[in-house]
Structure 1
Amino acid sequence: MSVHILMYPYPTAGHIIPLLDLSHKLLHLPRPAAAAAVTVTVVVTPENLHLLDPFLASSSSLQPLVLPSPEPPATPHPPQRRLVATVRALRELHLPLLSRWFESHPSPPCAVVSDFFLRWTHRFARDRGVPRVVFSPSGSFGLSVAFALWRDLLRPDEESAVSFAKLPDSPRFPWSHLPDVYRSYEAGDPEMERHREDALGNIESWGIVVNSFDGLERAYLDHLRKDVGHDRVWAVGPLLPAEGDGSSGPVDRGGPSSVSASEVLTWLDACPGGSVVYVCFGSRAVLNQRQMDELAAGLERSGVRFILCARQSSRGGHVAAGDVGAVPEDFEARVAGRGLVIRGWAPQVPILRHRAVGTFLTHCGWNSTLEGLSAGAVMLTWPMGAEQFVNAKLLVDELGVGIRVGEKSEKVPEAAELARVLAESLRSDLPQRVRAKEMSGAARDAINGGSSDKDLSDFVRCVDEQRRSKIQTL
């Protein structure tokens, strides 16, 4: 019998793609002769099914389980409650469908690996006698902060800051830098109490898989193991497409774009090594007009070569409705020859891996953080929300690979200062660049027979042992 794992990502590209990368690695893991084979079923909604195409083509042991998307809510939710409403809608729609599928399957999964937003799957797996493993698309620092918040219900002090005394080095964060959904928590609110109960299910789950690696977050991985009271915490990252024979990896990993990947890479080919700043705020965040105006002016004044990924949707919830920043009129004409603007999805991994890119101006989402670190880019941090302020602190204060640029709409850099930092960030002798190259090497070592490969093998071994133990007791 095979080790059949059900993978259940939160249905957005930034959460689906790393879980698909994990599935791909599991299915291509070198297997001792006595070890069981691995098969994977991935829960996916119809609009995201295309993300599986390259993975389905490479393995017959990967199968999709297509479940419907929830209907949009009849009444709009405030941004800070949108996640809670979406998770509830997924639970109500998918739980009965998953239950019927599980009970009718001839060889049901022996483990459920689900996104840390889908905390209700802890009870689903427990009721069926299989282990539930949390998949964290955030790092172990961010996950440690989330565990502390929901378990201890930490509140701000007189300086409007929150201290995490149980974490390594006791970090402190301004109240406004903590996730919106947590700051909106009200004791006694039934929906928020259910959300907190589900969050505690993450801590109680059988195991945790983190998209990180030992050389990046060793102290926080050790803290997580102590926090949950067991060693079933596996760091298996960075989960990225293999470069393979010097290629830049897959280029179609998201949505539509105004510029083809081949055009982007051709444009980069004409640039000197380490001369380009790549600017992207992820798949969800959108700048407001003031942020966009200062960013565009700073890029123009800096004189540097750059690629700007400009999203034109407010889905991310970080800007007020109607305040979606548009690229200034005639901007592209004024920077022609040294600036490229991409509207829509950018082929981020190949861009960052290109020899011409030296600096990454980022919102510090964890996928972007890992992609930039793995490529050895200097990281200019401009966090917008979620756990991004935690990631920015890691990059700047602990790893020494980053430089602070902005903080959502509270601290918008002035164009002149931004221009100076952009130009300075491309220096070859910058201390942050030296550290970035070291972290890139550590990331590469982790997934080439190092700590992450060993953790991945150990994860499969533990799941298989659990499966065999269950069979013996039947």
Structure 2
Amino acid sequence: MSTPITTVHVLVCPYPSSGHIIPLIDLTRRLLTRGLTVTFVVTPTNLPLLQPLLSSHPPSSLQPLVLSIPETTISTSHRLLSIIRATREHHFPALLDWFRSHPSPPVAIISDFFLGWTHHFAGEIGIKRLIFSPSGAISHCVSFSLWQDLPKIDNPDDVNSPISFPNVPNCPVYPWWQLNSVYRSGKEGDPDWELYRSINQANKASWGAVLNSFADLEGVYLEHLKKEMGHDRVWAVGPLLPPSDDDDDDVGPFDRGGSSSLPSHESHIFDDLTDGCVDCRTGTQRGPLYLVYQLGVGFRVGEESKIIPRPIELSSLLVESLDENRPEWGRAKELSDKALGAVKGGSSDKDLDDLVKRLSEL
């Protein structure tokens, strides 16, 4: 554990979903061990996820700020965007009142990448906003490029039309159907489409970015993010994992909502990497899954509902994946060692120390 540098107050604001809250809780625990003071925004429904950390830290260092979202404001057809709008509508004014009445308000806000409105909140009250991503850097590299370049397809009926991202490292190419659904289904001027674009613009303009990744996994994409954001304030502090037995914190993996620090559709990727396991995936090539295939530590057995393997084919692939003599196993073990090394005095620990140092200078 690093020596605390100073007492700095930071506001942490997650997207209200367990897959996004849990990794921010893990990050908060690390910030607390480095001497920071944290106020954590949480809804009543998600407060139990934070409770174990609250019980292991004094109120002087960790405080919950419980803000509700009326369920009547949540649309079942567009739940993600309606939750984003609801947090902006109900949390923005509540946070303004809280900040203006606080005797020692925060110097920065670390907020989920979905909550682009917090960038404007930070600007209004004169503090810095840092985006937090519960997964890695490549997703944001592609997203920034998508919403800036606005690629189109000639034939709207050809969902397999390839869309390339030549400005992103390794020039990833995806079929049209794998791109963001809001982007594909909307157009300029549509409220949902414009909201999603504004989120990406706010993220790109933010003072800093904190990612659940590590340099040996995504070094080239982390450097690209720095270039895109126009500064070097991009910190890879992952993999954010449950406290180990030799940590000072009493919070265990089952106390913080499970062992995965990723959204459910990306769950267990870092768990598999740190365990040295070979991945068998049925997801698309986007984000962390793209890395799994690119790094040669996994097998693709399908792509959502578009490509469903036959039972015989699937069983054959699963048997093949268990052969520890395959090169994927060696690469997975090597990557596992690098992942664990990153958080035990390696690049992620150093990035976290630098993050705390930069925050202390505000």
TM, length-normalised to structure 2: 0.90
Shift of 1:390: 3.0
Does the CA contact (< 8 Å) of 1:18 and 1:137 recur in 2?
yes
Shift of 1:138: 2.2
The one-letter amino acid of 1:240's match is L
Match of 1:343 in 2: none
Does the CA contact (< 8 Å) of 2:41 and 2:67 recur in 1?
yes
Match of 1:273 in 2: none
String of CA shifts for 1:273-304, please: whole Å, max 9, x gaps.
xxxxxxxxxxxxxxxxxxxxxxxxxxxxxxxx
Stretch of structure 1 that moved more, 178-187 or 210-219: 178-187
Does the CA contact (< 8 Å) of 2:74 and 2:83 recur in 1?
no
String of CA shifts for 1:413-435, please: whole Å, max 9, x gaps.
11111111112212221211111
Return the match for 2:297 from 401, 404, 411.
401
Does the CA contact (< 8 Å) of 1:363 and 1:383 recur in 2?
no
Shift of 1:364: 8.4
**Are 1:70 and 2:70 matched, yes or no?**
yes
The one-letter amino acid of 1:378's match is V
Match of 2:94 in 1: 97
Match of 1:14 in 2: 19
Quick one: distance in 1 between partners of 2:154 and 2:345?
45
**Are 1:253 and 2:268 matched, yes or no?**
no
String of CA shifts for 1:156-202, please: whole Å, max 9, x gaps.
36661211010112110011112222222311113432331232000
Does the CA contact (< 8 Å) of 1:134 and 1:209 recur in 2?
yes
Quick one: distance in 2 between partners of 1:83 and 1:248?
30
CA gap 1:363/1:46 in 2 versus in 1, 3 angstroms: closer
Match of 1:241 in 2: 242
The one-letter amino acid of 1:232's match is R
String of CA shifts for 1:309-328, please: whole Å, max 9, x gaps.
xxxxxxxxxxxxxxxxxxxx
CA gap 1:378/1:157 in 2 versus in 1, 3 angstroms: farther
String of CA shifts for 1:426-467, please: whole Å, max 9, x gaps.
22212111111111100011001111011111111111112x
Quick one: distance in 1 between partners of 2:31 and 2:167?
33
Quick one: distance in 1 between partners of 2:251 and 2:162?
42
Aligned pairs, number: 349
Quick one: distance in 1 between partners of 2:263 and 2:48?
26
**Are 1:432 and 2:328 matched, yes or no?**
yes
The one-letter amino acid of 1:395's match is V
Quick one: distance in 1 between partners of 2:264 and 2:21?
18
**Are 1:144 and 2:141 matched, yes or no?**
yes
Written as runs of structure 1 = structure 2, the 5 A alignment for 1:101-120 is: 101-120=98-117
CA gap 1:365/1:217 in 2 versus in 1, 3 angstroms: farther
Quick one: distance in 2 between partners of 1:197 and 1:251?
36
**Are 1:389 and 2:286 matched, yes or no?**
yes
Quick one: distance in 1 between partners of 2:264 and 2:178?
13
Match of 1:457 in 2: 353
**Are 1:85 and 2:82 matched, yes or no?**
yes
CA gap 1:21/1:367 in 2 versus in 1, 3 angstroms: farther
3-state SS of 1:173 partner: strand
Does the CA contact (< 8 Å) of 2:165 and 2:173 recur in 1?
yes
Match of 1:262 in 2: none
Quick one: distance in 1 between partners of 2:265 and 2:79?
18
Please give the root-mean-square deviation of Cα atoms over the aligned residues, in Å: 2.3
Match of 1:209 in 2: 210
CA gap 1:426/1:248 in 2 versus in 1, 3 angstroms: farther
**5+ residue gaps, structure 1:** 30-36, 255-346, 351-361, 467-474
**Are 1:378 and 2:278 matched, yes or no?**
yes
The one-letter amino acid of 1:83's match is L
String of CA shifts for 1:212-232, please: whole Å, max 9, x gaps.
000100010011111111100
Does the CA contact (< 8 Å) of 1:148 and 1:154 recur in 2?
no
3-state SS of 1:138 partner: coil
CA gap 1:74/1:99 in 2 versus in 1, 3 angstroms: closer
CA gap 1:371/1:459 in 2 versus in 1, 3 angstroms: same
Does the CA contact (< 8 Å) of 1:4 and 1:108 recur in 2?
yes
3-state SS of 2:220 partner: helix
**Are 1:443 and 2:339 matched, yes or no?**
yes
Shift of 1:75: 5.9
Match of 1:28 in 2: 33
The one-letter amino acid of 1:236's match is V
Match of 2:128 in 1: 131
Quick one: distance in 2 between partners of 1:363 and 1:58?
25
Written as runs of structure 1 = structure 2, the 5 A alignment for 1:22-421 is: 22-29=27-34, 37-60=35-58, 61-73=61-73, 76-77=76-77, 81-156=78-153, 160-245=161-246, 249-254=252-257, 347-348=258-259, 365-383=265-283, 389-396=286-293, 398-421=294-317
Does the CA contact (< 8 Å) of 2:222 and 2:234 recur in 1?
yes
Quick one: distance in 2 between partners of 1:182 and 1:370?
28
Shift of 1:245: 4.8
Does the CA contact (< 8 Å) of 2:75 and 2:82 recur in 1?
no
Quick one: distance in 1 between partners of 2:273 and 2:181?
26
CA gap 1:463/1:363 in 2 versus in 1, 3 angstroms: closer
**Are 1:3 and 2:8 matched, yes or no?**
yes
CA gap 1:231/1:367 in 2 versus in 1, 3 angstroms: farther
3-state SS of 1:133 partner: strand
Percent same amino acid at aligned positions? 49
Stretch of structure 1 that moved more, 425-434 or 154-163: 154-163
Does the CA contact (< 8 Å) of 1:248 and 1:349 recur in 2?
no
Higher relative contact order (CA 8 A, sep 6+): 2
Quick one: distance in 2 between partners of 1:92 and 1:140?
29
The one-letter amino acid of 1:68's match is S
3-state SS of 2:169 partner: coil
Shift of 1:147: 1.1
Quick one: distance in 1 between partners of 2:216 and 2:251?
24
Quick one: distance in 1 between partners of 2:267 and 2:31?
19
Shift of 1:236: 0.4
